[in-house]
Amino acid sequence: MLAFMSTLFFTACSNDDDFVAETPDSETPGTENPDPEEPRGDYDNGILVLNEGGTGSVTYISEDLASVDQEIFQTVNRGDDLGAYVQSIFFDEEKAYIISNGSNLITVVNRYTFELLGKVDAGLSVPRYGVAMNGKLYVTNQADFATTADDYVAVINQETLLVENSVIIGDAVESIEEENGILYIQNATYGAGNKISVFNPTSSIVEATFTTNDALNSIEIENGSLFALSGNKLQKFNLTTQALESEIDLNYTQDGGSISAGNLEIEDENIYFTASNKVYTMALNATTAPVNALITYQTSSEYGVMYGFEVEDDRIFIGDGGDFASNSFVEIYDLNGTLLKNVEVGLAPNGFYFND
């Protein structure tokens, strides 16, 4: 019984990985909204906070941080829910795909109105992250926790929402990024792993791998480079050749013990990452690690410190996991480290997504 419960807990405690939301606006061709001033739904112009929950939920915070709506999916779709342990959301134009790793479910909604559009409820086994590309959805699935040999990418038809193909990757899978038609899959999860697979969706083959430092936890792709953050190193690789170009050692301590760095974010030529309850920043081309923290936030959480983290629109977003059994909070800071707002949200906020 405890084995079972422990595996659920491990699911709940994964580090959130970076995800940059697509932001359709009036300059992008093919957008649905002809009038840029008219909101496209109740939940336009704001931030979506994903609460992992026992049963997941989404909190909406308006752009000006003035209004907050809890459980917006349940409000719009009475009697329905998002499934157990929602892991992440990915987008394609106006569609949002909300992944529940505990119920093997992806709920498709309109990202502005949150009306239900469909569900993927077959063919998934502990789905974690996904991307949409060329009419298909590529979603990483961890399947059995006891082995990484069965981890796979589910290829889902975007129209029918049926899984067409399951490609075994041969290593652990976690976050997935798309760049120029190629998918990059992090082969590291729960503090273990050191590879990134380069997956070609046309051929369905892993064509190359990056080898990083151990305990890889987050990656970002920027300007033809792949940045990989493990507990104590930030590495920069050439995206096409997988060659290591440079690396910086990170040695942060707290209360006499060393703490690992995680939650890599790159925004507007700056790198951000966290260690325990602190946020650090440095320039994209910096060669030494920052010494002082930009932000230190107050938390009493025993195991949910910095459970969600995102940098977007000149603001820094921190999600606190709390005790995983009651509502928790998020904090929003400006880039100087000044606290703008503390907002109560649902259980275990693990991600931030943006409608603007």
Partner 1 sequence: MKYFIFTFLLSLCAFQAFAQNDSINVLEEVLLSSKKLEQFSTGQSLTTFTDSTFIKNDPLLTSFLNYNTPVYFKENGLGMVSSPSFRGTTAQQTAVVWNGININSQFNGQTDFNTLSIAGYDEVSVKPGGGSVLYGTGAIGGTIHLNNNLDFDPKYQHQVHFSYGSFHTYDARYGWKLSKNNWSVAIDLSRNQSENDYEYPDDKGKNRNGQFYQQAINTNIGYQINKNNTLKFYSQFIDGERHFSLIRKSDTKTKYQDINNRNLLEWERSFGKFLSVTRAAYLEERYKYFGNLSTQNYSFAEAKTYIWKYDLQYKPTSNSLINGIASYQNTQGKGSSLGNNKREVTSFSLLGKHQLSPKLTYDVAFRKEISHSYESPLLYSLGVIYDIASFYDLKLNFSKNFRMPTFNDLYWEGSGNTSLKAEQSHQVEVGNIFKFKNATINITGFYNDINDMIRWLPSNNSVWVPDNVDAVKTYGGELLADYSYTWNQQKLAFASTFSYTISKNINTSKFLIYVPKTKTTFSAIYEWHRWFLDYQFLYTGEVFTRTDNNSKYNLDAYTVSNLGAGFQLDKNNNNVIGIRTKNIFNKAYQSVENRYMPGFNLNFYITLNF
Q: Give the binding site for partner 1 (CB under 8 A).
A: 1-4, 6-7, 9-10, 13-15, 54-55, 83-84, 102-105, 121-122, 124-126, 143-147, 150, 190-191, 259-260, 276, 302-303, 305, 323, 325-327
- Helix count (H) and strand count (E) of the chain? 2, 30
End-to-end CA distance of the chain: 45
d(CA 338, CA 332): 9
d(CA 7, CA 195): 23
Smallest distance, partner 1 to C-beta of residue 267, A: 25
Element of type H or E holding 123: none
Give whichever of 46 and 346 is closer to partner 1, judged by the CB atom.
Answer: 346
Smallest distance, partner 1 to C-beta of residue 266, A: 23
Smallest distance, partner 1 to C-beta of residue 44, A: 27
Among residues 235, 335, 248, 228, the alpha carbon closest in space to that of 290 is found at 248
Give whichever of 243 and 325 is closer to partner 1, judged by the CB atom.
Answer: 325
d(CA 322, CA 179): 34
Indicate the SS3 state at residue 2.
helix
Smallest distance, partner 1 to C-beta of residue 3, A: 4
- By 3-state DSSP, what share of the chain in percent is helix, strand and coil, each rounded to 5? 5, 50, 45
Contacts of 64 (CB under 8 A, 6+ apart): none
Give whichever of 24 and 102 is closer to partner 1, judged by the CB atom.
Answer: 102
Contacts of 272 (CB under 8 A, 6+ apart): 263, 264, 265, 266, 279, 280, 281, 294, 309, 311, 316
Smallest distance, partner 1 to C-beta of residue 87, A: 14
Smallest distance, partner 1 to C-beta of residue 53, A: 11
Give whichever of 66 and 146 is closer to partner 1, judged by the CB atom.
Answer: 146
Give whichever of 24 and 83 is closer to partner 1, judged by the CB atom.
Answer: 83
Give whichever of 120 and 183 is closer to partner 1, judged by the CB atom.
Answer: 120
Give whichever of 12 and 61 is closer to partner 1, judged by the CB atom.
Answer: 12
Cβ pair 219, 208 in contact under 8 A: no
Smallest distance, partner 1 to C-beta of residue 201, A: 24
The answer to whether the Cα torsion of 231, 234, 239, 240 is positive or negative is negative
Give whichever of 227 and 307 is closer to partner 1, judged by the CB atom.
Answer: 307
Give whichever of 201 and 262 is closer to partner 1, judged by the CB atom.
Answer: 262
Smallest distance, partner 1 to C-beta of residue 220, A: 21
> Helices marked H in the chain — which ranges?
2-12, 72-76
Q: What's the angle, vertex CA 11, arms to CA 108 and CA 71, rounded to 5?
A: 40
Smallest distance, partner 1 to C-beta of residue 151, A: 13
Smallest distance, partner 1 to C-beta of residue 322, A: 8
Among residues 248, 298, 253, 255, the alpha carbon closest in space to that of 271 is found at 248
d(CA 315, CA 317): 7
d(CA 31, CA 24): 7
Give whichever of 226 and 259 is closer to partner 1, judged by the CB atom.
Answer: 259
